[in-house]
Amino acid sequence: MKFLWMLKNEFKSSKLSAFLIFAEGVFILVCFCICISLSVDTLSAAVYFHSGFDGNSVKAAFKSADMDEYKEAFASDEIDLAVYVNYYFAQGKDGSTVFMGSYSESAFTELNLSYSGSPVDINKDYGGAVPAMVSRTLSKQYKTGETYDIGGVQVYVCGKLNDKNLWMMSSEFTGENFFMCYDKDGRLSALEKSAVGCGFFTTQKGRPIEGLINSLNSNELVNGAYEFDWRNKMSEDFDRLSGNLIIGILVFLISAVGFCANNVLTIKKNERDYYCQMCTGQKKSSIILLFAARMAVCLIAGVIAVIIFSKRLNTYFGEEIITSVNLLAASGLCVFLCLISSLPLLLNAFNVEKQ
């Protein structure tokens, strides 16, 4: 209770500084989230390829309208893991066309899908319905946890896929309106009587498929086997990333200067107060703890504000850039900045000899 009372007083005596930390926190979190989301795929792909890929290229993707062709390729000894899909047209609930992707079991067990709601549980019975994940653009019409009749097939919506998973559907078929279904019993094949396309993704033996797929653009999912030159691709991606890196470093520097300036002014303003408090028995450590707690409260308020802002902003930016992982990483950077910008100053503020 006493600590909370002191914390309340700390806020009362430095309202402007607290507001500035909050505002700066929001700015840094948003900027860092953007930087992270622009860089993370390239970095994870680099880690993926540089940790044991042989040669410079790999057979990466295959798409065909001929089911037999891909089944034959799928049976190849060279392929250790594949994710395949059949695409179907269907009439949605408001009469518009939606695209149903019937995915292999491996899509639900091997891929680390980015989603909200629940994933598809391949062992669960969804009351006879086909379990599916819905794309973000369809999620406003098709709610998680509901069952819908789509072209005579009952489809249960387990969760909402983030746009990050759009690579799984070729844009020429789907746009962004699609269901990712697990159709174990082949009920979707009744839709419009035929599949309109199929495809699969493979990777080198013993390697996870996801890192490879994440590094491909949808226009690289060409018909036929595709020899993917990953070294060349990495080099291109890193050239692009270096531009982001400069922006990231600039944001970091501006933020560091902002935090330092704020902390210098706050500590200088309160230096005499700290000294007087120490004379009345306040510990150095608890002054530092109070300062840190004040900063933490401002930053937590910043994080909450960014979360509320991103939730209200029902767009790609709100849902795919300000993700919980990005926000967590950005918060870590923010805390690091706070520490390096305030600790040396705080420690220096307790030099009794100069009071």
Partner 1 sequence: MIELKNIVKTYYPQKSTEVKALKGVDLKIEKGEMVAIMGVSGSGKSTLLHILGCLSKPTDGKYFLDGEDMNEAKRKQVYKIRNEKIGFIFQDYGLIEDKSVLENVMYPLAFSKNVKFLKMKKTAQKAIADVGISELARKKASKLSGGQKQRAAAARAIVNDPDIILADEPTAALDSKTADEVMALLKRLNEKGKTIIVVTHDKRIADMCQKTYVITDGCIKEDTQ
278 binds partner 1 (CB under 8 A): yes
CA distance 10 to 44: 42
Task: Mark the segment that binds partner 1 (CB under 8 A) among 31-39, 73-81, 220-228, 271-279.
Answer: 271-279
286 binds partner 1 (CB under 8 A): yes
Of 282, 289, 301, 346, the one binding partner 1 by CB under 8 A: 282
3-state secondary structure of 206: coil
Could you say which residues in the range 4-23 bind partner 1, by CB under 8 A? Answer: 5-6, 9, 12-13
Of 78, 149, 172, 273, the one binding partner 1 by CB under 8 A: 273
Q: Give the nearest distance from C-beta 180 to partner 1 in angstroms.
A: 56
Q: Give the nearest distance from C-beta 271 to partner 1 in angstroms.
A: 12
Number of residues that bind partner 1 (CB under 8 A): 21
91 binds partner 1 (CB under 8 A): no
- Gyration radius of the chain's alpha carbons: 27
Q: Give the nearest distance from C-beta 35 to partner 1 in angstroms.
A: 38
Q: Which is nearer to partner 1, 230 or 274 (CB)?
A: 274
Pairing of strands 197-203, 61-64: antiparallel
Task: Mark the segment that binds partner 1 (CB under 8 A) among 36-44, 64-72, 279-287, 313-321.
Answer: 279-287
CA distance 238 to 253: 22
Q: Give the nearest distance from C-beta 13 to partner 1 in angstroms.
A: 5
Under DSSP, the state recorded for 128 is T
Best CA proximity match to 189, nearest among 67, 71, 61: 67
Q: Where are the alpha helices (DSSP H) in 51-99?
A: 67-74
CA distance 310 to 308: 5
Q: Which is nearer to partner 1, 12 or 193 (CB)?
A: 12
Supply φ then ψ for residue 129, to 5 degrees.
-85, 160
Q: Which is nearer to partner 1, 276 or 308 (CB)?
A: 276
Q: Which is nearer to partner 1, 53 or 275 (CB)?
A: 275
Per-residue x/- mask for partner 1, residues 218 to 257, rule CB under 8 A? ----------------------------------------
Supply φ then ψ for residue 337, to 5 degrees.
-60, -45
Q: Quick check: 53 and 234 in contact, CB under 8 A? A: no
CA distance 102 to 104: 7
272 binds partner 1 (CB under 8 A): yes
Pairing of strands 153-161, 130-135: parallel
Residue linked to tokens 């948003």: 30
Q: Is 345 exposed, middle or buried (0-12, 13-18, 19+ CB in 10 A)?
A: middle
Q: Give the nearest distance from C-beta 348 to partner 1 in angstroms.
A: 16
Q: Which is nearer to partner 1, 13 or 106 (CB)?
A: 13
CA 208 to chain centre: 19
Q: Quick check: 273 and 351 in contact, CB under 8 A? A: no
Task: Mark the segment that binds partner 1 (CB under 8 A) among 90-98, 177-185, 281-289, 312-320.
Answer: 281-289
CA distance 33 to 257: 19
Q: Quick check: 302 and 333 in contact, CB under 8 A? A: no
Under DSSP, the state recorded for 96 is -
Per-residue x/- mask for partner 1, residues 315 to 354, rule CB under 8 A? -------------------------------------xx-
Of 71, 143, 283, 311, the one binding partner 1 by CB under 8 A: 283
Q: Which is nearer to partner 1, 15 or 312 (CB)?
A: 15
Q: Which residues bind partner 1 (CB under 8 A)?
A: 1-2, 5-6, 9, 12-13, 272-273, 275-283, 286, 352-353
